[in-house]
């Protein structure tokens, strides 16, 4: 029996992080629901045991059903028949198994049919699903949209839609349009009120993942004559209303099992989420943060799958009379692949825990006024999540691309053929650094944390966290890197030029991200000796990387921008 | 009146992925080295039982398993997937039972659950491959039997229609109740464990298990009776000792051989026309083709 939870001890390590006690206590409020629901935990240990049990169920489905289906789903892909998206046969089976296991909506409250799980196991499920079938992981992961309805919808909407998601109905977020990709302020799809006071949607959406979902969140322009974000509102469209034409399914490079659709809304009925004009400014920002965490999970899952394929092949493949894994050039590559997976996985769950804590306080604050200390904790973790999320999205998606690239390298010519899954992983990985905000846009979000000092605060807190004696030598090395970070970020800020700041942004954010992941691996090592080696290697790697980036930044002058700028003359040449 | 479906299930050593420790020096199965699992065809049987439950109002699925204390795991596994409850038939006196003694004990247990409508089990267990327990139990209960079931075609409160998988084709048969059904591995896979049922039943234990473990959830058992898995002993079944265990088992294993298949001769042929011709002649001579 393949089981993607039990064959990966790192998952249990992250699931049992000491902060989980606090998180679960916040989510379960003295375990009051135990008398109301026979599946609610009676105490913390019981809750943790439940998390593990459900992770085992999902891990088994991933290993036994999803992973074996992945290859065929990639070849077969979805079809558009009579304005309906028909998933590949294997996709249908994978979906049905997860529905039968009752695991959809696990992070939703019990009163809507969920399991009231924290974000950590939910993200862990996404990681396992992605390792098994990255294309399918989009169909699974979009249930995340329910979180937005839970946070901002009214009670009737929650009862109507979240209960359906918990039964396995799929979701989509309809944001992108032909002329509104990264720049969502340019969304044009029109929302108008008819004479009965009901909203109707008209217009086109493009590149919509799982476009034929049962329930879709749609960003639309509700305020006529406006041109920016303040004219946009968020709506829920129910597929049962049959008012959307699916124009086509895109033919993509990767994640081919996941249908990406072009949609035409034809006077489609919809209900407004929350308040008018807050669509992009508030709700989509929250939606996007969830989606970015999801891409983080997807990236770690793909990175792990690539590593596993590569190491298996390197053990079996013999050249020059021995398995290629024995050659330094190969085992170095493999070990770096493993470390990249572990470092971004550490960041994935650190971010998830931050989201868990502030969202738990958000939910409590709807029932009672929070005390001062509680509000402070809510704010602290909310800020932490806001900064870690783009760093996670950036680093994990880039690492995942690097891992699949290296996996093909380990396979050599064989990997370039369509005979092994590494070529699929390579194609699947490519989207992760593009959708839900490109890497370049993640830098824009994360660099704010450099300017505001938030990143320094996070690093400071890590620095002050007690660790075992034998790991102090590693921390000292990170403290040296932190001084370097202070120096280069100070230097870049002192240039007092926004273009220069943007130009250097990626390097500065990566320097900071590296330090953060270095600390997280030290904390992992503090709880589990296995990670001592990981932390050691990762810190070695970033010492050289950060020096390189720092030298580049410190050598940079504002005038250098002109060297890189591309003028019209050059383009026409 | 409710509709009662009894599933007979067995915990078996996983003989599908055997490592080198799978067999002891004396040729018997080394149970300690193999993980204990739900017998695969019994899972197919459980799925058909659950499909019947899905179709019929007020149907209940009860799992019966015979084995050591740890076999209670089978009952929990079944409840995680949708079974309503289960009984563990356990007693030292059952040790060493062959198929005759096992079916005797199982038939007594099923009688305790009478009136029941369907008794269903896997065709055979992977640790013995006899396919005898189901039919023998039906004979002892004096009820009709449908073996090699592959698909539940239809079920009402009066009849069940089953597709049978036979060596040279299929057969569609219809029966009244009560009926014994044994299920073939070509039947649908069992549904996965359901998250909410798993969380609901995960603390379910037999009394014997509770004695052996340090369990923090004993208090829960008083308010939630479904967490108590009942055990039935020889006394509970009013069984005759003479028909039980080794004494009640006429099957005697004379000898177990560890057979290692070796090929005696091999010849290597190239893809040249000459060699292919040679191969063809040999195949025709041995009547493999032509």
- What is the CATH classification number for the domain harbouring B141? 3.40.50.620
- In DSSP notation, A49-101 reads HHHHHHHHHHHHHIIIIIHHHHHHHHHH--EEETTEEE--HHHHHHHHHHHHT
Domains contained in chain A, number: 3
Domain-ending residue, one of A254, A277, A300? A277
User: Does the distance separating the beta carbons of A106 and B195 come in below 8 Å?
Assistant: yes
More confident residue, A33 or B18: A33
Q: What is the ipTM of this complex?
A: 0.93
Regarding whether A550 and A490 lie in a shared domain, the answer is: yes
Does A389 score more than 80 pLDDT? yes
Residue A235 and residue A179 in contact, taking contact as beta carbons nearer than 8 Å: no
Least confident of A16-30, B74-88, B211-225, B249-263: B249-263
Distance CA A241, CA A133 (A): 31
User: Does the distance separating the beta carbons of B192 and A97 come in below 8 Å?
Assistant: yes
Q: In which domain, by residue range, is A513 found?
A: 456-564
Distance CA A31, CA A29 (A): 5
Mean pLDDT of B140-147: 97
Mutate to test the interface with A, among B73, B193, B218 (most CBs of A within 10 A): B193
- Residue A573 pLDDT: 59
Question: Does any domain span residue B248?
Answer: no
- Domain containing A188 — which CATH number? 2.40.110.10
Chain segment A507-531, per-residue pLDDT in tens: 999 999 999 999 999 999 999 999 9
- Residue A571 pLDDT: 66
Residue B272 and residue B279 in contact, taking contact as beta carbons nearer than 8 Å: no
Distance CA B258, CA B260 (A): 6
Number of other CB atoms surrounding residue B212 within 10 Å: 11
Share of chain A above pLDDT 90, in %: 98
B191 contacts in chain A (CB < 8 Å) = 100
Domains contained in chain B, number: 1
Nearest chain B Cα distance for residue A127, angstroms: 18
Mean pLDDT of A418-444: 96
A60 contacts in chain B (CB < 8 Å) = 192
Residues of B with CB under 8 A from a CB of A: 191-200, 202, 216-217, 220, 224
Question: Does any domain span residue A404?
Answer: yes
Does A40 score more than 70 pLDDT? yes
Question: Does any domain span residue A142?
Answer: yes
Number of other CB atoms surrounding residue A272 within 10 Å: 21
Regarding whether A152 and A40 lie in a shared domain, the answer is: yes
User: Does the distance separating the beta carbons of B220 and A42 come in below 8 Å?
Assistant: yes
- Residue B289 pLDDT: 79
Share of chain B above pLDDT 90, in %: 66
Distance CA A251, CA A113 (A): 36
Regarding whether A160 and A306 lie in a shared domain, the answer is: yes
- Residue A231 pLDDT: 96
Share of chain A above pLDDT 70, in %: 99
- Domain containing A520 — which CATH number? 1.20.120.470
Regarding whether A177 and A45 lie in a shared domain, the answer is: no
Nearest chain A Cα distance for residue B181, angstroms: 25
Regarding whether A318 and A412 lie in a shared domain, the answer is: yes
- What's chain A's average pLDDT? 97
Regarding whether A17 and A156 lie in a shared domain, the answer is: yes
Mean pLDDT of A107-126: 98
Judge whether A553 is closer than 8 Å to chain B, CB to CB: no
Mutate to test the interface with B, among A6, A57, A97 (most CBs of B within 10 A): A57
Regarding whether A356 and A341 lie in a shared domain, the answer is: yes
Mean pLDDT of A34-39: 95
Does A143 score more than 90 pLDDT? yes
Single out the catalytic residue among A151, A350, A398, A436. A436
User: Does the distance separating the beta carbons of A102 and B195 come in below 8 Å?
Assistant: yes
Nearest CB to A53 within list B192, B199, B217: B199
Chain segment A326-341, per-residue pLDDT in tens: 999 999 999 999 999 9
A100 contacts in chain B (CB < 8 Å) = 191-192, 194
Question: Does any domain span residue A573?
Answer: no
Regarding whether A218 and A313 lie in a shared domain, the answer is: no
User: Does the distance separating the beta carbons of A39 and B195 come in below 8 Å?
Assistant: yes
- Residue A339 pLDDT: 98
Nearest chain A Cα distance for residue B39, angstroms: 13
- Residue A495 pLDDT: 97
- Is residue B178 reached through a cis peptide bond, with omega within 30 degrees of 0 on the bond before it? yes
Chain segment B34-58, per-residue pLDDT in tens: 889 999 999 999 999 999 999 999 9
Chain segment A245-291, per-residue pLDDT in tens: 999 999 999 999 999 999 999 999 999 999 999 999 999 999 999 99
**Contacts A–B by Cβ distance under 8 A:** 47
Q: In which domain, by residue range, is B121 found?
A: 3-243
- Residue B32 pLDDT: 74
Sorted by sequence, the CB contacts under 8 Å of residue A357 that are 6+ apart come out as: A19, A22, A23, A26, A377, A378, A381
Nearest chain B Cα distance for residue A288, angstroms: 28
Question: Does any domain span residue B290?
Answer: no
- Residue A242 pLDDT: 97
3-class secondary-structure state, position B3? strand
A55 contacts in chain B (CB < 8 Å) = none
Q: Shortest CA distance to A99 belongs to which of A113, A88, A79?
A: A113
Does B27 score more than 80 pLDDT? no
- Residue A565 pLDDT: 93
- Residue A572 pLDDT: 64
- Residue A570 pLDDT: 67
Question: Does any domain span residue B272?
Answer: no
Question: Does any domain span residue B135?
Answer: yes
Does A111 score more than 90 pLDDT? yes
Domain-ending residue, one of A433, A468, A496? A433
Regarding whether A227 and A299 lie in a shared domain, the answer is: no
Question: Does any domain span residue A20?
Answer: yes
- Residue B20 pLDDT: 67
Regarding whether A294 and A192 lie in a shared domain, the answer is: no
Does B129 score more than 90 pLDDT? no
Sorted by sequence, the CB contacts under 8 Å of residue B218 that are 6+ apart come out as: B210
CA angle (A53 as vertex; A51, A58 as ends), nearest 5 = 95
Question: Does any domain span residue B211?
Answer: yes
Regarding whether A298 and A243 lie in a shared domain, the answer is: no
B213 contacts in chain A (CB < 8 Å) = none
Question: Does any domain span residue A531?
Answer: yes
Share of chain B above pLDDT 70, in %: 94
0.90 surpassed by pTM: yes
- Is residue B115 reached through a cis peptide bond, with omega within 30 degrees of 0 on the bond before it? yes
Mean pLDDT of B211-222: 80
Distance CA A8, CA A55 (A): 11
Does B128 score more than 90 pLDDT? no
Whether A436 is a known active-site residue: answer: yes
User: Does the distance separating the beta carbons of B217 and A57 come in below 8 Å?
Assistant: no
Regarding whether A211 and A296 lie in a shared domain, the answer is: no
């Amino acid at each position: 029996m393949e089981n993607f939870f039990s064959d990966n001890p790192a998952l249990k390590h992250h699931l049992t992080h000491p902060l989980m006690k606090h998180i679960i206590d916040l989510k379960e409020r003295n375990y009051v629901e135990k008398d109301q629901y026979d599946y609610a935990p009676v105490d913390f240990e019981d809750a943790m045991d439940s998390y593990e049990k459900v992770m085992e169920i999902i891990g088994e489905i991933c290993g036994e059903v999803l992973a074996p289906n992945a290859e065929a789903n990639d070849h077969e892909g979805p079809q558009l028949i009579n304005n309906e998206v028909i998933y590949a046969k294997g996709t249908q089976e994978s979906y049905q198994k997860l529905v039968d296991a009752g695991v959809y909506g696990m992070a939703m409250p019990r009163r809507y049919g969920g399991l009231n799980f924290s974000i950590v196991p939910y993200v862990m499920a996404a990681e396992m699903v992605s390792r098994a079938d990255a294309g399918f992981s989009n169909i699974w992961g979009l249930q995340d949209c329910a979180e937005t309805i839970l946070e901002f919808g009214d009670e009737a909407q929650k009862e109507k839609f979240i209960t359906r998601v918990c039964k396995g109905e799929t979701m989509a977020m309809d944001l992108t349009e032909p002329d509104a990709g990264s720049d969502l302020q340019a969304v044009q799809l029109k929302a108008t009120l008819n004479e009965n006071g009901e909203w109707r949607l008209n217009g086109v959406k493009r590149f919509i993942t799982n476009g034929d979902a049962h329930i879709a969140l749609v960003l639309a322009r509700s305020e006529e004559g406006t041109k920016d974000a303040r004219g946009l509102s968020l709506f829920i469209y129910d597929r049962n209303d049959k008012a959307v034409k699916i124009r086509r399914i895109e033919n993509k490079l990767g994640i081919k099992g996941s249908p990406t659709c072009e949609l035409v809304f034809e006077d489609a009925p919809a209900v407004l989420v929350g308040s008018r004009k807050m669509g992009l400014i508030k709700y989509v920002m929250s939606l996007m943060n969830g989606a970015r965490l999801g891409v983080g999970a997807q990236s770690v899952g793909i990175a792990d799958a690539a590593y596993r394929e590569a190491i298996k092949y390197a053990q079996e493949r013999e050249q020059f009379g021995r398995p290629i894994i024995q050659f330094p050039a190969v085992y170095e590559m493999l070990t770096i692949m493993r470390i990249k997976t572990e470092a971004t996985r550490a960041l994935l769950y650190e971010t998830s825990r931050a989201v868990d804590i502030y969202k738990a306080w958000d939910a409590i604050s709807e029932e009672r006024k929070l005390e001062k200390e509680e509000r402070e904790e809510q704010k602290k973790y909310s800020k932490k999540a806001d900064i870690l999320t783009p760093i996670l999205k950036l680093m994990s998606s880039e690492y995942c691309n690097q891992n699949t690239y290296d996996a093909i390298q380990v396979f050599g010519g064989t990997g370039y053929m369509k005979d092994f899954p590494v070529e699929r992983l390579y194609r699947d990985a490519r989207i992760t650094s593009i959708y839900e905000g490109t890497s370049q846009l993640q830098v824009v979000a994360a660099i704010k944390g450099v300017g505001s000092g938030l990143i320094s605060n996070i690093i400071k807190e890590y620095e002050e966290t007690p660790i075992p004696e034998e790991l102090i030598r590693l921390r000292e090395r990170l403290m040296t890197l932190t001084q370097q970070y202070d120096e280069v970020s100070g230097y870049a800020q002192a240039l007092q030029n926004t273009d220069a700041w943007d130009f250097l942004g990626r390097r500065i954010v990566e320097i900071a991200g590296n330090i953060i992941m270095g600390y997280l691996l030290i904390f992992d090592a503090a709880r589990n000796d296995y990670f001592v080696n990981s932390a050691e290697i990762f810190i070695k790697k970033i010492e050289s990387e950060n020096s390189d980036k720092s030298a580049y930044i410190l050598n940079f002058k504002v005038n250098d921008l002109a060297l890189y700028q591309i003028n019209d003359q050059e383009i026409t040449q | 009146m409710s509709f009662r479906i009894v599933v007979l299930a067995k915990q078996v050593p996983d003989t599908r992925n055997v490592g080198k420790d799978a067999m002891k020096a004396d040729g018997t199965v080394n149970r300690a080295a193999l993980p204990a699992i739900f017998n695969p065809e019994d899972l197919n049987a459980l799925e058909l039982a659950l499909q019947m439950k899905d179709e019929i109002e007020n149907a209940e699925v009860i799992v019966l398993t015979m084995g050591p204390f740890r076999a209670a795991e089978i009952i929990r596994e079944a409840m995680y997937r949708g079974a309503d409850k289960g009984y563990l038939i356990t007693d030292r006196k059952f040790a060493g039972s062959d198929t005759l003694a096992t079916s005797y004990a199982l038939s007594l247990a099923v009688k305790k659950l009478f009136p029941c409508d369907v008794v269903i089990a896997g065709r055979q267990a992977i640790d013995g491959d006899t396919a005898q327990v189901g039919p023998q139990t039906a004979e002892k209960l004096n009820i009709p039997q449908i073996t090699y079931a592959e698909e539940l075609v239809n079920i009402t409160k009066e009849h069940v229609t089953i597709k049978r998988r036979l060596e040279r084709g299929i057969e569609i048969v219809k029966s009244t109740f009560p009926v014994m059904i044994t299920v073939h591995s070509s039947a649908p896979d069992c549904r996965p464990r359901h998250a909410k049922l798993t969380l609901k039943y995960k603390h379910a234990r037999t009394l014997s298990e509770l004695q052996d473990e340090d369990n923090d959830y004993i208090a829960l058992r008083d308010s939630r009776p479904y967490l108590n898995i009942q055990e039935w002993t020889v006394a509970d079944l009013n069984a005759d000792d003479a028909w039980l265990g080794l004494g009640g088992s006429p099957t005697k294993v004379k000898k177990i051989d560890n057979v290692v298949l070796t090929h005696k001769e091999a010849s290597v042929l190239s893809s040249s026309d000459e060699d292919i011709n040679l191969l063809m002649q040999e195949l025709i001579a041995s009547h493999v083709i032509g």
